[in-house]
């Protein structure tokens, strides 16, 4: 059954880790919920888990997964106005496995950080390191080319008899060298 939360209108499956709970059948508790959400609801109306406190839930193993159920005493109390829920959904969204377990530095997003400023510090550090790395790669390439030229030159000088074994060794660019 696909349903929307009657409070924040979020649809099932849009945010991971959000469960949907129908209104209690018990009149007294139903009345309590209605008072809390303060709106007219239909028989099919649901309230999503974002409006309940963590202590309102119990977790049960169903098959090979753990499912979240509401306690008998639970009543929606959180984020009952639209502004607060937006923030709340973002926080919950960041709770998903995919976002929560970035595999590479480059996977990191703003949501992984406690605040925007922390994110920008890390981002800046990452970008700068990346730049440094590129520069170093270029340097290595240039040195490698220089080295190859030197090696060619040494071989050439050796072949035309202008380089002694000792000199070649001293240059340390021969096949036995340490370069």
Chain residues binding Zn ion by CB under 5 A are: 5, 7-8, 48, 50
Name the minimum Å distance from CB 64 to Zn ion: 27
93, 15 in Cβ contact below 8 A? Answer: yes
In 13-70 the beta strands, taken as DSSP E runs, fall at 20-22, 46-48, 57-62, 65-70
Rounded CA-CA distance 125/128 in Å is 5
Name the minimum Å distance from CB 7 to Zn ion: 4
Name the minimum Å distance from CB 3 to Zn ion: 10
Rounded CA-CA distance 45/89 in Å is 19
User: CB-wise, 89 or 154, nearer to Zn ion?
Assistant: 89
User: CB-wise, 48 or 173, nearer to Zn ion?
Assistant: 48
173, 154 in Cβ contact below 8 A? Answer: yes
Residue count of the chain, please give it. Answer: 179
Name the minimum Å distance from CB 9 to Zn ion: 7
User: CB-wise, 78 or 157, nearer to Zn ion?
Assistant: 78
Name the minimum Å distance from CB 81 to Zn ion: 11
User: CB-wise, 76 or 174, nearer to Zn ion?
Assistant: 76
Residue at shortest CB range from Zn ion: 5
Count CA atoms closer than 13 A to 89's CA, side-chain side: 18
User: CB-wise, 77 or 167, nearer to Zn ion?
Assistant: 77
């Amino acid at each position: 059954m696909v349903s929307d939360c009657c409070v924040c209108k979020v649809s099932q499956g849009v945010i991971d880790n959000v469960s949907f709970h129908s209104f209690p059948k018990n009149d007294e508790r139903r009345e309590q919920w209605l008072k809390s959400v303060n709106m007219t609801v239909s028989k099919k109306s649901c309230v999503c888990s974002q409006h309940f406190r963590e202590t309102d839930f119990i977790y049960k193993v169903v098959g090979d997964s753990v499912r979240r159920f509401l306690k008998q005493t639970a009543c929606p109390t959180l984020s009952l106005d639209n502004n607060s829920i937006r923030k709340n959904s973002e926080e919950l969204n960041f709770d998903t496995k995919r976002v929560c377990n970035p595999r590479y530095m480059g996977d990191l997003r703003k949501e992984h950080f406690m605040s925007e400023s922390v994110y920008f510090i890390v981002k800046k550090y990452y970008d700068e390191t990346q730049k440094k790395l590129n520069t170093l790669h270029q340097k290595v390439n240039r040195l490698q080319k220089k080295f190859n030229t030197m090696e060619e030159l040494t071989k050439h000088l050796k072949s035309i008899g202008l380089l002694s074994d000792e000199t070649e060794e001293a240059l340390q660019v021969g096949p036995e060298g340490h370069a």
